[in-house]
Amino acid sequence: MKKLNDHREVAGNSRTLASFWREHFYGGEKKELNHELKDKKPSTARDMKWVMKQIWLPRFGARMLDGLGTAEIRKYLDSSNLNRNTAAKYRTYLSSVFSSAIRLGHGLTYNPARFVKLSAEGPEKPYVMPSAEQVVAILDGLKAPCHKMAWQLAVWLGSRSGELRGLRWESIVWEHNAILIRESVWEGKSTLPKTKKGYRKVVLTDEQMQVLRDYKEKNFPNAQPNAWVLPGKRCRPIDLGWLMSKYIKPLVRKLEIPELHWHALRHLNNSLMLNEGVDVKTRMDRLGHTEDRVNMIYSHPGDKAQKAASKAIWQKLETAESKRKQQPAVP
């Protein structure tokens, strides 16, 4: 470790971490994104800004870039009592800053954050997600058609929230019972899905497609192909954070669910398929782990398995709804 920390080569004039961040990433009088941060996805840029402001700059902002060592960074992460995934994210963001400094010639040729070895992961905490019966109860409690459809699509597709917001009517391939995930909307900006593998197709059942068709015909019969499936205010897609806090969280508290957020439905989607015996490849394809972004859309050898996966989710929710209707009404 000492050899790694001592490996310093002068490659220009060194800067403090804070001044380099302000000049090349974010800051200055206008408090705007600079060139190094503009190249990143909006969600990554926002997250990186927060981590640098709250974690790295208060601790190391006044330090010279060539004065920070791997052991020092690791000691700080270890003392922060972070889970391994969070620590890995913090390390990655700091490493990105050092990589830029090396590329731009700011006084060092060695990235100390890159070689930080993280502590071993502790026992995995159980992930809290709703049951199928609770999902049906929440759906029953939502009244607005757009709110109900957002909830149903989140459960059916297992998509990330940005991908749900990015759905347009042209994304629906009615003749193939399929929805194409090819756009993500985050903080008003439209991008490709989070990863290249996120560009994918999800095949639904005839029943699910009929629900979607009825939703369109009753609420948006004249919608243009590029219109949002889940429209919100000012020609933007619906704000899912607002929907969760204003309408879904009150239902969650009433049902005494410990916690709930949109990503929990992604886990639920995978769990339902796993419990119903859907093979791992189909589950990975649906959740965005396919290799080929183009052939996947126009070839259909996996559609039968995908439709079976959708059928498993649909039947599980239908069973839960039937049980709910048989229960006496709660005053």
pLDDT in tens, 264-320: 888 888 888 888 888 878 888 888 754 443 333 333 445 677 788 888 888 888 888
On whether the pTM is more than 0.75, the answer is: no
Convert 150-162 to b/e letters by CB count within 10 Å (16 or more is b).
bbbbbbbbbbbbb
What pLDDT does 10 receive?
42
Answer whether residue 154 shows pLDDT above 90. Answer: yes
Cα distances from 4 to residues 72, 115, 117, in angstroms, run: 12, 8, 12
Q: Which of 100-109, 208-217, 256-265, 284-293 has the highest mean pLDDT?
A: 208-217
Total length of the chain: 331
List, for residues 6-50, the tens digit of each pLDDT value: 444 444 467 899 999 998 998 766 667 788 888 887 888 889 999
Judge contact between 165 and 240, C-beta under 8 A: yes
- Report which of residues 44 and 231 the model is more confident about: 231
Distance CA(44)–CA(150), nearest Å, equals 24
Q: What distances in angstroms separate CA 325 from CA 137, 290, 296, 318, 322, one per listed residue?
A: 10, 38, 39, 11, 5
Q: pLDDT at position 330, please?
A: 57
Average pLDDT, the chain: 84
Q: What is the pLDDT of residue 70?
A: 94
What percent of the chain stands above pLDDT 70? 86
pLDDT score of 303: 67
Look at residue 56 in the predicted model and tell me its pLDDT. Answer: 96
- pLDDT digits over 83-99, tens only? 888 999 999 999 999 99
Q: Give all domains of the chain, ordered by start, each with its CATH number.
A: 2-115 (1.10.150.130), 132-326 (1.10.443.10)
* Mean pLDDT along residues 107-119: 88
Residue 125 binned pLDDT confidence (cut-offs 50, 70, 90): low
